[in-house]
Each structure stands twice: as structure tokens, then as C-alpha cells.
């Protein structure tokens, strides 16, 4: 099953006999704003207009736990996550489509969590809300309670030790911008650089100028050129496990299974005992 869906395909599915549950996960990374400019609020954006039938899900409180020693966006409490999914109408036997404001990171985080906890049919709207050409609604739906109970998978998740080992035994992609990988700048975390052995693979190179994923064949060639070939185990990390989920999604589009280090650089760099590599080479 394809991990992404186009806006036209979504419109067709919504009009069909088994329409998907729609999750709106609009979110932006919290960064310093210009004086007087309010921070992005996904709930406000949702209330202003969303795809009909979509239910808002909050990334910071429902798709992650509070920031701490496990990183800025650690795994959510599964009871909280499960309750949020059931509130949105998610059931094990019903397809789910997730979208965000177009960047794809937040939608991918929801996609990854649902897949990792056992949902068999989840897709991301390719290009997000900007690709939707139908009407929007402002009223919040009240779907019937779903029955989805999250059960963590045995694979697909890396911790710090697993990520370090995979960087040596397989392929570990760093999905952050190249300047953060090299350690030229570090606007958020304690120190710049990357996990020794990790390969730079910025997430933004997986999409075109319209925000949609590049064709599967192009993505497969990209990841092959970076070392994901020949049956090697593949993992991904980023700053805090959000954009990294988008790279896992891109790998899935390319037909490559990959695990996610959710703690990512925000967890790794918080421990001074963990090694840090700098510069353009994995080392």
C-alpha cells in the first residue's frame, strides 16, 4: 500500500463507501518570533478552515510527551495517544489519512506513530492542505468513538545505543539541514554536529518545490546513492523525531523500510558523554 495519497484520490475516497478518518495535524516548530507576531497555533488554523470531517490532533501534547532528557518530542504516553486517536474516530478496520499545513513533518509523525503502534492503513496527504481544492469547513465534527488500541511494534524504533550501532553496521541518516549536521550552526540544542557514522540526508531534498514528494524512483536513487542499498538496515534521526519521521515516510515511498530514532539529536546531544562528530563526513 502506498504511504501517501493525492488530494484528488482523497476526494474520491471521501465520497466512497468507506471514507477514511481524517486527522489535521497542523504544527510548526516553535522558534523565536518577531516582536508582536504571535506563535503559530494549529487549533486556530484548524478553526479557520479544515477539510470537511477532519479532527484536529495536537502534536506537542498528543503525539509526544513533554520535553525532557529523552528529547524535545519523546514518544507520547500510549494511553494519551490512544485516547486522542479514538476521540478522532480512529478504528483498526478503518483507513486513516493525515495532513498538515504542507511541510509534511507533523503528518508524518502521526503516520509513523499509527503504523508503529499497529494501524494497518495510514496515508499522508502528499503536499498537505495547500493541495486540497475542495471546500473547507470551520465547524468541528463529532465522530463516533473509535476502537483503536495502540500496541508498540517490535521494530521500527531506535534508542540512542541502537542509533549509534546502526551508524556502524548499516545506514543512519541525519535528516537535518546540512549546516546543523556539519556543526556550522546549532540554533536549538546544546552542541552542533552529528552522531558519528551518520550520513547527511536533509529532509527538504525529498520533495519538490511544490512540497510534494519526488517520484518513488528518484527517491530510491537518492537513498541508494547515500548508501541505502543491498539490504542494509536503515535508520533516521533529526532534531527531535519530527522531520525524521518525514524521511522515514520518504523512504517508505521509495520502498525502503527504516527505523526512527525518536529522541534524535535533542536527546543525543544532551548527554556530554556521547561522542559528537563535526564536518561534512560521517567519520
Half-sphere exposure of 264 (CA within 13 A, CB side): 28
CB 269 within 8 A of CB 277: no
DSSP letter, residue 38: P
Cell numbers 479532527 correspond to: 55
Q: What is the dihedral of CA 205, 208, 209, 211, to 10 degrees?
A: -100
Instruction: Using DSSP, state whether 116 is helix, strand or coil.
Output: helix
C-alpha cell at position 278? 563535526
Complete edge-to-edge strand list for the sheet that includes strand 199-200:
157-158, 259-261, 234-237, 171-174, 199-200
Q: Which of 106, 160, 234, 238 is catalytic?
A: 238
- Which ranges in 57-144 belong to alpha helices (H)? 59-62, 78-87, 105-116
User: For residue 154, what is its C-alpha cell?
Assistant: 517490535
231: left (phi over 0), alpha (psi -120 to 50) or beta: left
- Give every CB contact of residue 170 below 8 A, 6+ residues apart in sequence: 232, 233, 234, 235
Q: Is 16 a catalytic residue?
A: no
- The number of angstroms, rounded, from the C-alpha of 206 to the middle of its chain's C-alpha atoms is 13
The candidate with the shortest Cα–Cα distance to 7, out of 135, 109, 93, 110, is 135
Q: Are 88 and 55 in contact (CB under 8 A)?
A: yes
Q: Which residues are catalytic, by number? A: 238
Amino acid at each position: 500500500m502506498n504511504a501517501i495519497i493525492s488530494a484528488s484520490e482523497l476526494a474520491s475516497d471521501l465520497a466512497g463507501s468507506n471514507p477514511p478518518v481524517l486527522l489535521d495535524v497542523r504544527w510548526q516548530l516553535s522558534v523565536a518570533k518577531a516582536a508582536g507576531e504571535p506563535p503559530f497555533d494549529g487549533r486556530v488554523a484548524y478553526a479557520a478552515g479544515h477539510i470537511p470531517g477532519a479532527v484536529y490532533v495536537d502534536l506537542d501534547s498528543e503525539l509526544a510527551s513533554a520535553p525532557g532528557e529523552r528529547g524535545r518530542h519523546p514518544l507520547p504516553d500510549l494511553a494519551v495517544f490512544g485516547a486522542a486517536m479514538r476521540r478522532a474516530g480512529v478504528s483498526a478496520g478503518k483507513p486513516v489519512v493525515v495532513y498538515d499545513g504542507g511541510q509534511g513533518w507533523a503528518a508524518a509523525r502521526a503516520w509513523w506513530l499509527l503504523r508503529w503502534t499497529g494501524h494497518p492503513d495510514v496515508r499522508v496527504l502528499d503536499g498537505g492542505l495547500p493541495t486540497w481544492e475542495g471546500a473547507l469547513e470551520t465547524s468541528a465534527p463529532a465522530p463516533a468513538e473509535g476502537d483503536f488500541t495502540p500496541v508498540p511494534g517490535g521494530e521500527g524504533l531506535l534508542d540512542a545505543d541502537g542509533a549509534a550501532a546502526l551508524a556502524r553496521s548499516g545506514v543512519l541518516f541525519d535528516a537535518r539541514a546540512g549546516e546543523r549536521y556539519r556543526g556550522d550552526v546549532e540554533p536549538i540544542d546544546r552542541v552542533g554536529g552529528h552522531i558519528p557514522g551518520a550520513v547527511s540526508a536533509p529532509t527538504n531534498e525529498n520533495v519538490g518545490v511544490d512540497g510534494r514528494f519526488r517520484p518513488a524512483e528518484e527517491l530510491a536513487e537518492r537513498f541508494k546513492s547515500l548508501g541505502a542499498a543491498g539490504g542494509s538496515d536503515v535508520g533516521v534521526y533529526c532534531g527531535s523525531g519530527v522531520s525524521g519521521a518525514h524521511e522515514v515516510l520518504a523512504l517508505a515511498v521509495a520502498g525502503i523500510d527504516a527505523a526512527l530514532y525518536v529522541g534524535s539529536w535533542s536527546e543525543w546531544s544532551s548527554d556530554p558523554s556521547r561522542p559528537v562528530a563535526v564536518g561534512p563526513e560521517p567519520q
